[in-house]
Amino acid sequence: MHAKLAEVVVGYSTEVKPGNVVRIEAYDGVAAPVMREVYAAALRAGGHPTANLVLEEADETLYKEGSDVQLEWISPDQRWNVEHGDVWVVFDAPTNTKRLSNVDPERIARRLKARRPLQSLYLERSARGEFRWLICGFPCEASAQDAGMSLRQFEQVLYRAAFLDEDDPVAAWKRFGDRLEEIGSLLETKRELRIVGEDTDLTLGVEGRSWIRAKGLRNFPDGEVFTGPVETSVEGTIRFSFPAMMRGRQAHDVRLRFEGGEVVEATARRGEGFLREMIGMDDGARRVGEFAFGLNDAISEYTGNLLLDEKIGGTVHLALGRSVPGTGGQNQSGLHWDIVCDLRDGGEVYADGELAYRNGAFLNGASGS
Amino acid sequence: MRDPRLEKLAELIAGYSLDLREGQVYRIDGEEVSTPLAVALYAAALRRGAHPYTRIVPAGLDEIELEAASDEQLTYIPEVERIATEELDAWTSLWGTVNTRALTRADTERRRLQLSTHYRMVNRRWERISAGELAWCGTLYPSQAHAQDAEMSLAEFEDFVHGACHTREGDDPIAHWQSMSQTLTARARELEGVRELRIVGPDTDLRVVVEGRRWLPSDGKDNMPDGEVFTSPVETGTNGEIYFAFPSVFQGQEVENVRLRFEDGRVVHAEASSGEEYLRSLLDTDQGASVLGEVAFGLNYEIDRFTRDILFDEKIGGTMHVALGGGFDEAGTENKSDLHWDLICDLREEGEVYADGQLVWKTGSFLAEPAVERV
């Protein structure tokens, strides 16, 4: 399966071309077997791959013992990659997802903020088609444990979500891409969306904004359409079904109230202090940078792994903070924090006042995979 | 559980070997298996106010590159490597691996091409080290593969490594290496008065002209462990025969019972009981490969056995070694080569070294301590 995943990553998601500089990264060595396959596939495609394991313990030491200057420092490797690299593949397979749970949130916010220019640059280069980055799932014990299952079970969930159980996964992703195209085109005719669900009634303006069809090129697995809503347009309340997670920390049962596009009230049953620290990071962190529909019906259950959860068919998510270039979103922030809301049980979405989506599916027949 | 000796080793390298300062940019390179030492070094560097970052790679990438890369890809130098080579203030290479013989069966020609790419960067790195612009230290994280090569258990090998580095519990490693540095420096100054060395041992009678060359102390700055004095001999001044009782390992391939005969500096006859073809291919690397780039005395007496790893073996107390190939600019060499292959001659049982005709070394040690200048 590693070789099959690598072929999709190199041949479809990042389309490595001769002469491309390809950086392959992961936390520690859990993903080493697939990193080797991607390294080989990138060489066969004519690229110049390098691999790097980010050390979890070193990372932890930096957060806990580094001075502010050290925490804000960016290594020459990272800088060059973002400024000049062609392809960046990051495997999401840590050895312990909660390793930073006891780090002072102020430290996390400080580092995120310092990396803001670099983040903006890579998203801009990405939007211009100069830089193809990919966050790729990989089965590991830590993620399986978060999902409350065995590694073998998590492998099945992940590979199914990635269509790797199909004979020709690339063909399946292209077919799925056509469906995302249909939904994206529909949404681009709309000016305003209203999301209604349990403790949720939220209105967002999306007029003139582009909907990106996320079909496995920047996230893998994938399956969503997303945009950057009009910055001042968000009004109302939303309650998130799934915990909000960032660097291993969580806020449970998050509720947000918006006025004029800004969060004016934020509560959580657990982790409220952390929630406030993140939202208080900078001005843009209080605004919505992304709104999205999760459309991958091959993912049905919550696993605590954001890469999968935000794609669950029948969910929507919004991100506080930085918007994604290419959507038309203008919001700037060191934060980009996706939080997921499940609409499969009674949720509704109205587009320009008309019911367009109910119980997790679009009514025009355009649904997920 | 963390091994407190690793913290000690990391403090020694960051504090003594590299003398890391606030704001310096410091990179730690290694394979995945060396992660515990990389983490300890990272923390030690942070404590000194430096900016550390790591470059840790999964095992097995060299093999994949040899199999899948075109010649053009094989000779490509990533820009991040060029930047590191030109701009870093400090650098550590961790040499631990999971299998020291993973490339033994690789295609020799392609491996040579891969290595020549690597050496282009290493040569430039040495220019900056020699110019005092870059502090670099190579060391080894004790792994199972290296323990296996040394014919020890991992626990035994760890004890051995920390013994050689003086990073055992209760050791004061910095004090040890400072004192070692004084002794080795004094020895080097003394050897600079010598015109010719004659090495006599089992099947060995070799004359090496070292006149006018600078002797350098290996005192734990560039390698850890360390403990030798070395120079680059006069290129045309090596004559006679030398026998190497220890197997000579180069890039995972072993050559046994090497015998070399030199005339006017060049190897004119080479044989080995096994690996002779490989020996010849190494000598054919280029013009400089059959000339000595180094002659040295191994003076770390904590290293008392052969491990098949040159980091330790060349420092075995009581041995001498010579290297075929490129010499050291600081020593005054004129020999250039992509090869630098250390071969070790055991002089502990029976061995004598004469300096300009005078006996200075017998059965593994100098006859007199050098006069250490008190600072």
Q: How many CB atoms are closer than 10 A to CB B271? A: 12
B171-183 pLDDT, tens digit each: 999 999 999 999 9
Q: Which tokens is A53 given?
A: 């394991």
> Of the candidates A44, A46, A76, which has its C-beta nearest B84's C-beta?
A76
**pLDDT at position A105:** 87
pLDDT at position A365: 55
Shortest CA distance from B40: residue in chain A: A58
pLDDT digits (tens, 9 = 90+) for A16-63: 999 999 999 999 999 999 999 999 999 999 999 999 999 999 999 999
Q: What is the pLDDT of residue B7?
A: 96
**Cβ contacts of A48 on chain B, cutoff 8 Å:** 73, 76, 78
Quote the pLDDT of residue A367: 44
B 289-318: CB under 8 A from A: none
For residue B375, pLDDT beyond 70: no
Q: Where are the alpha helices (DSSP H) in B88-153?
A: 108-130, 144-149
Contact across the interface for A32 and B76, Cβ inside 8 Å? no
Instruction: Please tell me the predicted confidence (pLDDT) of residue B197.
Output: 98
- What average pLDDT does this structure show over A122-136? 94
Are A46 and B59 in contact (CB < 8 Å)? no
Q: Does A61 touch chain B (CB under 8 A)?
A: yes
Phi, psi torsion values for B54, nearest 5 degrees: -115, 150
Q: What is the pLDDT of residue B252?
A: 73
The H-or-E segment that residue A40 falls in is helix A32-44
User: Looking at the predicted structure, is the pLDDT value of residue A369 above 60?
Assistant: no
Query: What is the signed CA dihedral for B102, B105, B107, B108, rounded to 10 degrees?
Result: 90
**Is the pLDDT score of A241 beyond 90?**
no
Check pLDDT > 70 for residue A297. Answer: yes
A304 φψ region: left (φ > 0), alpha (ψ -120 to 50), beta (else): left
Residue A30 to residue A35: CA distance in whole angstroms: 9
pLDDT in tens, B25-59: 999 999 999 999 999 999 999 999 999 999 999 99
pLDDT band per the 50, 70, 90 thresholds, residue B104: confident
A18 CB within 8 Å of a chain B CB: no
Q: Do A36 and B52 touch (CB under 8 A)?
A: no
Chain B neighbors of A80, CB-CB under 8 A: 79-80, 83
Give me the mean pLDDT over the A1-15 stretch.
96
Does the beta-carbon distance from A84 to B53 stay under 8 Å? no
What percentage of chain A carries pLDDT values higher than 90?
90
Q: Which residues from B are below 8 Å from A51, CB to CB? A: 57-58, 61
Cα distance from A115 to chain B (closest Cα, Å)? Answer: 15
B58 contacts A43? CB cut-off 8 A = no
The pLDDT score that the predictor gives to residue A17 is: 97
pLDDT over 70 at B374, yes or no: no
Taking the CA of residue A44 and the nearest CA in chain B, the distance in Å comes to: 6
pLDDT grade for B274, boundaries at 50, 70 and 90: very high
| Residue A58 with chain B: CB contacts under 8 Å | 38-39, 42-43, 52, 54
CA of A3 vs chain B CAs: smallest distance (Å): 13
CA–CA dist B194, B209 (Å, integer): 9
pLDDT number for residue B373 = 62
* pLDDT > 60? residue B105: yes
Mean pLDDT, chain B, whole residue set: 95
Task: Inspect the interface and report whether the beta carbons of A48 and B76 lie closer than 8 Å.
Answer: yes
Q: What per-residue confidence (pLDDT) applies to B166?
A: 98
Please list, in sequence order, all residues whose beta carbon lies within 8 angstroms of the beta carbon of residue A69, skipping any fewer than 6 positions away: none
Read off the DSSP letter of residue A337.
E
Q: How confident is the model at residue B116 (pLDDT cuts 50, 70, 90)?
A: confident
Q: Quick one: average pLDDT of B115-121?
A: 89
Q: Which of A2, A24, A50, A72 to mutate to test the interface with B (most CBs of B within 10 A)?
A: A50
Q: Report the side by side order of strands in the sheet with B25-31.
A: A219-220, A132-137, A87-92, A21-27, A48-54, B51-57, B25-31, B90-94, B135-139, B223-224
**Rounded to the nearest 10 degrees, what angle do helices A116-127 and A105-114 cross at?**
50
Which of A55, A62, A71, A87 is best to mutate for the B interface (most B CBs within 10 A)?
A55
The overall average pLDDT reported for chain A is 94
Q: Which residues pair with B277 in a beta bridge?
A: none
Shortest Cα distance from B215 to chain A (angstroms)?
36
**Sheet containing B204-209: which strands, arranged edge to edge?**
B266-271, B258-263, B238-244, B204-209, B196-201, B352-355, B358-362, B365-366
pLDDT tens digits, one per residue of B352-373 = 999 999 999 999 999 998 877 6
Q: How confident is the model at residue A366 (pLDDT cuts 50, 70, 90)?
A: very low
Chain B, 210 to 239: residues with Cβ < 8 Å from chain A are: none
Bigger pLDDT: A359 vs B2: A359
Quick: pLDDT tens for B136-167: 999 999 999 999 999 999 999 999 999 999 99
pLDDT band at B348 (very low <50, low <70, confident <90, very high): very high
A84 part of contact set with chain B, CB < 8 Å: yes
Which residues in chain B are closer than 8 Å to A115, comparing Cβ atoms?
none
